[in-house]
Amino acid sequence: MAIRYTRDHEYVSVEGDTGTVGITEYAQTQLGDVVFVELPAVGRTLSKGDEAAVVESVKAASEVFCPVSGEVVSVNTELEEAPGTVNEDPAGRGWFLKVKLSDPSELDGLMSEAQYAEYLGTVG
């Protein structure tokens, strides 16, 4: 399973032709306590960089952008009842949506875990 990261602190974890999208540990820390998550409709087609979800915290509302293009095949409905899951386990149970990748080559433009860690060192 490959995980890639964006400069906006989203991740996509790829297994086969499906990518699971969420926000990173850094992003959830910056947001603070998440109180609401708006998810896209299953079946919606997203292009790389499109707004895929909205997350609201006690501090601010923020868009979650899709790191890759594809069709939404699943959303994490658990977040509607328990948005704090994003804070508790952003890279696990706190995922937002799954997309069927339409252009896997887009992954090449995203950062690896090591590159993302290095990038985080420049944004403090």
- 42 lies in a domain? yes
Model pLDDT for residues 23-66, shown as the tens digit of each residue: 999 999 999 999 999 999 999 999 999 999 999 999 989 999 99
pTM above 0.85, yes or no: yes
Question: Does residue 98 sit within a domain?
Answer: yes
124 located within any domain:
no
CA-CA distance, 17 to 95, in Å (whole number)? 17
Task: Give the model's confidence band at 124: pLDDT under 50 very low, under 70 low, under 90 confident, else very high.
Answer: low
Between strands 51-57 and 45-46, the pairing is unpaired
Q: Which domain holds residue 64?
A: 2-103
Other C-beta atoms lying within 10 Å of the C-beta of residue 1: 7
| Domain tally, the chain | 1
Q: Please state whether beta strands 34-38 and 61-65 pair in parallel, antiparallel, or not at all (unpaired).
A: unpaired
Is residue 117 included in any domain, yes or no? no
CATH number assigned to the domain comprising residue 55: 2.40.50.100
